[in-house]
Structure 1
Amino acid sequence: MKKFIGASLLLLSSALANAQKNPNDTITTNYQPSVLFSPLPYTEKGNEFHSANGEPGPKYWQNRADYKLAVTLDTISKTISGTTNITYTNNSPDALQYLWLQLDQNTYKKDARSNFVTGYQATQHTSGYEIESVEIISGNSSAKANYKITDTRMQVRLAKALGKGTISLRIKYHYTIPGNFGGRTDFVDTKNGKIYEVAQFFPRMCVYDDSRGWATAPFLGSGEFYCEYGDIDYTINAPWDMIVAGPGDLLNPKEVLTATQIARLNAARNSDKTVMIRTAAEINDKTSRPVNAGTLTWHYKMLNTRDVAFGASRAYIWDAARVNLPDGKKSLAMSVYPVESQGNDAWGRATEYLKASMEYFSEKWFVYPWPTAINEAGIAGGMEYPGIVFDGINDKGKELYWVTAHEIGHNWFPMIVGSDERRFAWMDEGFNTFIDIYASDAFNKGEYAPKRDGEYAPGGGNPADEIIEHITDPNSPSIMTAPDAIPEKYRHPLTYFKPAFGMVLLREQILGKDRFDYAFKNYIDKWAYKHPQPDDFFRSMENGAGEDLSWFWKGWFYNNYKLDIALIDTKYVDKNHTKGVKLTIANREMMAMPFTVEAKMKDGTKQRTYFPVETWLQNKVTTYTLPTTREVESITIDPDNALPDVNRKNNSRKL
């Protein structure tokens, strides 16, 4: 027995000595497998509310906010005034001693906290929301509410805590509409009158969820919105000569449209080709309006939505076409734009672009749920709300197609999958940028493909190359950084570009299209009209695709780990090409990825070998013998340049 132990020790000592002489150990690398492949700690274990598989748990709950809005657009004073009636339903297990509401218009006040974020001092302001009254309604009686406004939030302090059940609020208010400095809500002059893009125009309930309680992060600009779902019944009173373009069902068409316009809309509902509802020639024709004086009240209703916005102008040309959805369902795509934007190279095709995008996203990911969608031309230049998008008045051709596809794509993220944009902007901007890459490929046999606008590959080139400058920049924040904490220089690359390209890597390099699509569609389906957190997405993808992707979330989302896969050496085994080529490949940086090696033969043929990410599970340097029988001209790692490799110069070698 003692002799056996001694022999074993001698063998172990010899093995260690040989391991120490391994030439691979002398290759310089920053890669640490134990760091990248250590388990990613989720914020908490799966529970009855957010299951471990990334889906809503059996006890998942969500509160609800239903609104009845009545507002007036005063084009003389440039104001919105109105009354918001809110029915708020508490489905949580908690008794709520107070309620929180969003007052986004307060971001335009001179002393707003948003003015201090970037170091840029705005020169134009409004007075924000002027709250006239806040009441708690009970049956036919009402009582003044005890409320406190702090920047863009309002707290309503209840005399009695709200348990499971409902409470009704009535808020009267007015505010001045920002001019062209509004960004997301504004007005601008055109040849035939002003265009008003009106958003965040009523006090909205903050979300109360099972992750943070009240979501009260202030509206600072970059971080967008997080809203509860419910039905919104709203009326817009505006001058008689204006068209009010609002999402949802128009409940009183006979009061605000002519018989001709109603007939044209009915024709559009049955037409795949764009139908003119109001032509350029009719803009200044009084017969194109049902009355010729005073005001008209437009009445819309939108079901199961988290928000509404609208456009209004006497200058609108209006057209529409049917949207064909899966299982025989239909919707209506519409565009409104001024004469300055007309023409087949510009907004004359806007409805075509909108229709095609809606049909593609519905077929590929999830069926569009609302009766209409509107593409509105203005100066917001690319902003989204449920059922309506504000796109650039001067956009044409591929730019107009790309912005239309992107903005209407937001109806999937975050209007259907209701993530928290104010904290996790990548869950809407990144996902949406990802899905419209493929929409561009599909549109009109690739008319505007590949998508290489500023929301994917900023310089118009290979995204794998262009992401490198952002990964290697030592000052670049990570994707998981709060959106308002990301400087403008990095906002686009880190909120849109990097997460979108990360999804492409998952789909095309790591999981494959079938497994990715299955898992991603399941995530969308399970979290439609709900509030997923980042962990829910990560868990959904891992469970649906059957892969532990902790290394990818850690390296790509939580950090800006660099990737540098280097081909260190290539040589024939025993100097004989019929015995194969021995490769020595090193991972020099902190990120790892699966990769492809291509051998180009001297006879012109090519041979590819796929190396899974497990190649780097233990090794900083790996050796592998390619089974070749013909003479090899060269070996190349990642021959398609699909990976974000920071140094492609060490990816190829000739034999």
Structure 2
Amino acid sequence: MLAPRDKRSLPLKHLAYPLAGALALAALPAVAQTRYDPATAFAPLALPSPANTVRGANGLPGPGYWQNRSDYQIHATLDPAAKRVSGTATITYTNNSPDRLDSLWLQLDQNLYRPGSRGAMASGRVPGGTTDGMVIEAVELLSGGKTIAVTPLISDTRMQVSLPTALPSHGKISLRIRYHFTIPGEWGGRMAWGKARDGEVYNIAQWYPRMAVYDDLRGWDPLPYLAQEFYLDYGDFDYWVTLPAGMIVAGSGELQNPQDVLTATQRARLAKARTSDATVEVIARGEIGTPASRPRQDGTLTWHFRMENSRDVAFAASSAFAWDAARMNLPGGKTGLAMSVYPAESQGRDKWGRSTEYLKHAVEEFSRRWYPYPWPNAVNVAGIATGMEYPGIVFDGIEDSGNELFWITAHEIGHSWFPMIVGFDERRDAWMDEGFNTFIDVYESDAFNHGEYGPKRDSEYAEGGGNPVDEILPVLADPYAPPILSRADTVTEKYRHAVTYFKSALGLTLLREQILGPERFDPAFRRFIAAWTFKHPKPADFFRAMEDASGEDLSWWWRGWYVHNWTLDQAVTRIGPARQGEGSLVTVENRDPMVMPATLRVSFADGSKRDVALPVETWIRTASTDVYVPGPQRVVRAEIDPDHKLPDRDRSNNVAR
């Protein structure tokens, strides 16, 4: 999801409290300090999730790792006249845990829109509209050839289903749920309907009861939905959407019945797109709404999609869609389809005419650099709900164009990696999905078409081209800014982008480029992604994995940047002769609580220069250190961080002569 600075705000904002997070060990408060204490900076750091056979000390899944599974079959009908979705979801739930489960929990996100919902109260204002939420018509358990009607307990956006007999470890049970809800209008945020020039557009997400996660850390984790994001199990999805025959559907996964819902011409064009690096029109702008664009105009058609190894599915529908596609070239000789659907007013070379080009490149680049894209299709939708991601499909804005469209496309499809492939708990740890994704955005912007839209520096404090280590300084200096390791629901809108997106992403950039170097960071990051594909890593798993693969104790970095919101101030205080023999002594000092490795550039009397790498251990015992510079030439100038790579709050003390 893009932050409101980039796209329109969500309908609900969030009450917040600065929170140090479960990792806080040091006694210092999470505000900027005036002096540096090595014993505090380098103190042992106890991570919140203990290493065990489920989650290993190396940050990877242990030999005892387990994860429950949810498989779905959903038959739904979209009624544009009533603005209503009705459906029946059959969920097969597999209990891979060692525990017996006496109840099941599900998420009913549509209840966010009910009057008086917890999300409405947490927003601090009245949302743009209300609905009756998700109306549950019936719940049945299917077990042992029997159908048992049950009465669920619904509490806000959660539904608890008590089981007549506990579900044993490695047991399975199926639920059949009949439901309906009214689709919210443009105020819906992540899912909504609204009007384009030639018809209505429906962005349909969070549209069926979704299983909550039962994991090894909390058991059931059914947090109420407050308009943040999600934590979901993986499984396979088959879903059928019935709607008026004149509408086009774009959905997560692969269309299973193109012969029923597409014309022969459209099927041929899709076949051509599967072999084409250039964008192929499947439905041209001039064909929107014409009789030839649909197998028939009257009655209804049912679209069947299948998505494997996914945590969710979503779809968009409209009679106003143009449609184009191109081949994605993936590692190992695999291919997929990049596709875009958009209304006629979005067409144009400077607008959605390049959407598929952007989408194709982003998926190919992320696949090459980090981990192969695992699904057959990637779809970009120009619609009403904007700047939002779901597996295999993203919702962006009808009016997006130029660099804005490129950036939002790359960002939203980048969420396929975080949290769709690597299943972060974005309900609690939004900094992981948004920050990790914003981090990979930076390199995609640099890579696309020789940097056509680069550099992308995702900061609230500059629109682009600024130095991100300067742009973060107001956040680090703000005593009210929450640490990264805060519960997502507590971060106010003022800090959501600055901390959850920008600071989190910059932390990874600094780790890659200044602390570890790409040659150590990249393999460690890829190893983490591959190990946790379609699984549920936590912050402690990431911290351990990066330390294990890089060979570094990074507790000082996790503490200063993630647990606290500490500032950095490094200085050069003196240049003098060596105490014995040739050479010079340059005194460097770390003055603020945070510590980082740095470069010291010394200039000699003859005009030559030399860079001296200062490891973080330079300050492990004392705040001030003498750096010996050998050689007959006298050092006449010394500067710490000469290339302006570190978030140093006071650069006036970085040079000594």
Q: TM-score range by the shorter chain?
A: over 0.9
- Residue aligned with 1:181, SS: helix
Identify unmatched segments of 5+ residues in structure 2.
1-32
- Shift of the 455–261 alpha-carbon distance from structure 1 to 2, 3 Å rule, reads farther
Contact 1:433 1:497 in 2 (8 A): yes
The equivalent position to 2:231 in structure 1, one of 186, 207, 226, is: 226
**1:200 aligned partner:** 206
Within a 5 Å distance, the mapping from 1:521-532 to structure 2 comes to: 521-532=526-537
Q: CA deviation at 1:619?
A: 1.0
Are positions 1:159 and 2:164 aligned together? Answer: yes
- Shift of the 29–112 alpha-carbon distance from structure 1 to 2, 3 Å rule, reads closer
Q: CA deviation at 1:284?
A: 2.6
Q: CA deviation at 1:241?
A: 1.0
1:36-74: per-residue Cα shift (whole Å, max 9, x none)?
111101224321111111111111111000000011111
Are positions 1:611 and 2:617 aligned together? Answer: no
- Residue aligned with 2:453, SS: coil
Contact 1:29 1:587 in 2 (8 A): no
Within a 5 Å distance, the mapping from 1:195-594 to structure 2 comes to: 195-222=201-228, 224-454=229-459, 460-573=465-578, 579-594=582-597
**2:601 aligned partner:** 598
Separation in structure 1 between the aligned mates of residue 73 and residue 174 of structure 2, nearest angstrom: 11
Separation in structure 2 between the aligned mates of residue 537 and residue 324 of structure 1, nearest angstrom: 29
1:521-547: per-residue Cα shift (whole Å, max 9, x none)?
110011000011111111100001110
- Residue aligned with 1:117, SS: helix
Separation in structure 1 between the aligned mates of residue 245 and residue 605 of structure 2, nearest angstrom: 77
**2:187 aligned partner:** 181
- Residue aligned with 2:123, SS: coil
Are positions 1:99 and 2:104 aligned together? Answer: yes
Contact 1:29 1:620 in 2 (8 A): no
Instruction: Give the aligned CA root-mean-square deviation in angstroms.
Output: 1.7
Question: Which is worse superposed, 195-204 or 129-138?
Answer: 129-138
Are positions 1:638 and 2:636 aligned together? Answer: no
- Residue aligned with 1:422, SS: coil
Contact 1:454 1:460 in 2 (8 A): no
1:394-415: per-residue Cα shift (whole Å, max 9, x none)?
1111111111111111000010
1:65-106: per-residue Cα shift (whole Å, max 9, x none)?
000001111100101111111000001110000000000011
Q: For 2:191, give the aligned amino acid.
A: T
- Residue aligned with 1:441, SS: helix
Separation in structure 2 between the aligned mates of residue 199 and residue 628 of structure 1, nearest angstrom: 67
- Residue aligned with 1:49, SS: coil
Are positions 1:31 and 2:72 aligned together? Answer: no
Separation in structure 1 between the aligned mates of residue 253 and residue 144 of structure 2, nearest angstrom: 28
Separation in structure 1 between the aligned mates of residue 437 and residue 35 of structure 2, nearest angstrom: 34
- Shift of the 629–351 alpha-carbon distance from structure 1 to 2, 3 Å rule, reads farther
The equivalent position to 1:58 in structure 2, one of 63, 67, 92, is: 63
Q: CA deviation at 1:510?
A: 0.6
Q: CA deviation at 1:359?
A: 0.5
The equivalent position to 2:134 in structure 1, one of 125, 129, 134, is: 129
Q: CA deviation at 1:599?
A: 2.2
TM-score normalised by L of structure 2: 0.93
- Residue aligned with 1:135, SS: strand
Q: For 2:40, give the aligned amino acid.
A: V
Q: For 1:594, give the aligned amino acid.
A: P
**1:4 aligned partner:** none
Are positions 1:624 and 2:630 aligned together? Answer: no
Separation in structure 1 between the aligned mates of residue 231 and residue 400 of structure 2, nearest angstrom: 29
**2:150 aligned partner:** 145
Separation in structure 2 between the aligned mates of residue 604 and residue 395 of structure 1, nearest angstrom: 52
Counting matched residue pairs gives 624
Identical residues among aligned pairs (%): 56
Separation in structure 2 between the aligned mates of residue 379 and residue 604 of structure 1, nearest angstrom: 61
- Shift of the 135–338 alpha-carbon distance from structure 1 to 2, 3 Å rule, reads same
Contact 2:280 2:324 in 1 (8 A): yes
Separation in structure 1 between the aligned mates of residue 104 and residue 244 of structure 2, nearest angstrom: 35
Q: Which runs of 4+ in 1 moved over 6 A?
A: none
Contact 1:456 1:496 in 2 (8 A): no
**2:17 aligned partner:** none
Q: For 1:497, give the aligned amino acid.
A: F
Separation in structure 1 between the aligned mates of residue 573 and residue 126 of structure 2, nearest angstrom: 53
1:428-464: per-residue Cα shift (whole Å, max 9, x none)?
1111111111111111111111112458966651110
Q: CA deviation at 1:388?
A: 0.3
- Residue aligned with 1:414, SS: helix
- Shift of the 205–282 alpha-carbon distance from structure 1 to 2, 3 Å rule, reads same
Separation in structure 2 between the aligned mates of residue 349 and residue 634 of structure 1, nearest angstrom: 51
Question: Which is worse superposed, 519-528 or 29-38?
Answer: 29-38
**1:6 aligned partner:** none
Q: CA deviation at 1:118?
A: 3.4
Q: Which of the pair has more CA radius of gyration?
A: 1
- Residue aligned with 1:171, SS: strand
**1:190 aligned partner:** 196
